[in-house]
A and B are shown apart, each in its own frame.
Chain A
Amino acid sequence: MNLRRVHLAALFVGLWIAVYAILEPSVGLVISLIRLEPGTRLTEALRFFLYEAPKVLLLLTIVVFAVGIIRSYFSPERTRQLLGKRSLFAGNVLASLLGIVTPFCSCSAVPLFIGFVETGIPLGVTFSFLIAAPMINEVAVVLLFGLFGWKTALLYVGTGLVISITAGYVIGKLRVERYVEDWVYSIKSQELALENKPLLDDRLQAGFTAVRDIVSKVWIYILVGIAVGAGIHGYVPENFMASIMGKSAWWAVPLSVIIGVPLYSNAAGIIPIVHALLEKGASLGTALAFMMSVIGLSLPETIILRKVLKLPLIFIFVGVVAVGIIIVGYVFNLVY
């Protein structure tokens, strides 16, 4: 085994802890050094940005590293095996849970869909996986944890699971097999002889690769998202959002979802903005619904899926998930 990489990983974690420990005092020092006039809008916005941006980026690095290692224990091939002979409901639950930990990129959605259907995994179970995988991802969870705390992060994961389980179950019950493109069922692929069997060394490498791939891709969205959030924080008047995205407006939840579905952003860009909106009086259910529809349903993914699904099934898929998100939004507005 390559000990160098183990040392490297230990060094990385140690360094991370050190930087995290001195983060707050050093940001405080920077703020006192640039001598901002207290109480002005610019100061408020800047302070918000300087505190949140480094914290969220740091959290993201360590979580992506950990998730990269965890994911090396789950492959789509193994997930497919595990889902093979499940009944509808148990299958939906398992598929949603596996959707969280199995590495997934929406560009692989089509091969994955075909591969699942071909081995006899029910359509509804396949959909549970396809809904959970993009919606509940580590970037979203980190941002929610960093900006809102662990309760909201858990809430998001929980409701995301409820939606992916129920939506998949409903789609399964609707008997929509006829809306899958016919050629999908005619495919006969050869057995995958090749099995990737990673060693500890490979797993650590997977963690580093995940950090490089994901952090290098999303950091700019996070910074822009937090900057916009900081602007809202400093400049938008208190309770401004209450009339638009507040509880009293019954149409706010469906409208947020209708706007959110075609909007495509990753969690990194949208969550800091949602954070600021909440601060200005938007209600949690409405904000949650908006966030989920932006992250969980994306136009590019549905366009890719059109290759294997006929149009009615695309609409059923988007419709069922959207309705699920709307219901969750209303429930949260009622409870909180």
Chain B
Amino acid sequence: MKVKILGVGCARCNDLEQKVRHLNDAYQLRLEIEKVTDLKEMMQYGILTTPGLVVDGILRSYGVIPNDEQLLQWFKEQHS
């Protein structure tokens, strides 16, 4: 599963990346985590606020840091 974190070096973007990496390790999700800082690629998803979270090509959230349960649900949903 591919997870993209969209954001140009803001504190909250780093927070989200850390969180996703932490969950990935803790639950052995084997996610492919990529941080997207290229504006052109970022803007294709149409977000106005960062960080954005894309799971397997689907934009899941933007402008907020989702909580753990929510993140896990998205990561596991796609598994089945």
Contacts and interface: CB of A to CB of B under 8 A. Distances in A.
Interface stretch (A8-16, A110-118, A254-262): A110-118
Contact of B44 (A108, A189, A307): A189
Nearest to A192: B46
Contacts of A308: 39
B46 A191 contact: yes
A177 B61 CA distance: 31
A77 interface: yes
Given A111-B47, A115-B48, A194 B59 contact: yes
Interface string B26-68: 0000000000000110111111111000000001111110000
A59 B49 CA distance: 28
Given A105-B10, A107-B8, A194-B62, A76 B48 contact: yes
> Which of A76, A116, A188, A189 gathers most chain B CB within 10 Å?
A189
A110 B39 contact: yes
B22 to A, nearest CB: 19
Interface in A149-189: 183, 187-189
Interface residues of B, number: 24
A192 B47 contact: yes
A110 B44 contact: no
A187 B48 contact: no
A284 to B, nearest CB: 35
Interface residues of A, number: 28
A190 interface: yes
Nearest to A183: B40
Given A107-B10, A187-B40, A112 B49 contact: yes
A275 interface: no
Contacts of B21: none
Contacts of B50: 107-108, 111
B75 to A, nearest CB: 17
Contacts of A187: 40, 43-44
A190 B12 contact: no
A115 B6 CA distance: 15
B63 A76 contact: yes
Contacts of A307: 8, 39
Contacts of A114: 39, 43
B8 A112 contact: no
A110 B7 CA distance: 10
A116 B47 CA distance: 11
Contact of A189 (B8, B12, B43, B63): B43
Nearest to B67: A205
A292 B78 CA distance: 49
A34 B23 CA distance: 50
Contacts of A190: 44-46
Contacts of B7: 107
Contacts of A111: 39, 42-43, 47-50
A194 B47 CA distance: 10
A115 B46 contact: yes
A80 interface: yes
Nearest to B49: A108
A107 B9 contact: yes
Interface in A237-283: none
A193 B58 CA distance: 10
Interface of B: 7-13, 39-40, 42-50, 59-64
11 contacts: A107-B10, A108-B10, A111-B50, A115-B43, A115-B46, A116-B48, A189-B44, A189-B45, A192-B62, A193-B59, A196-B64
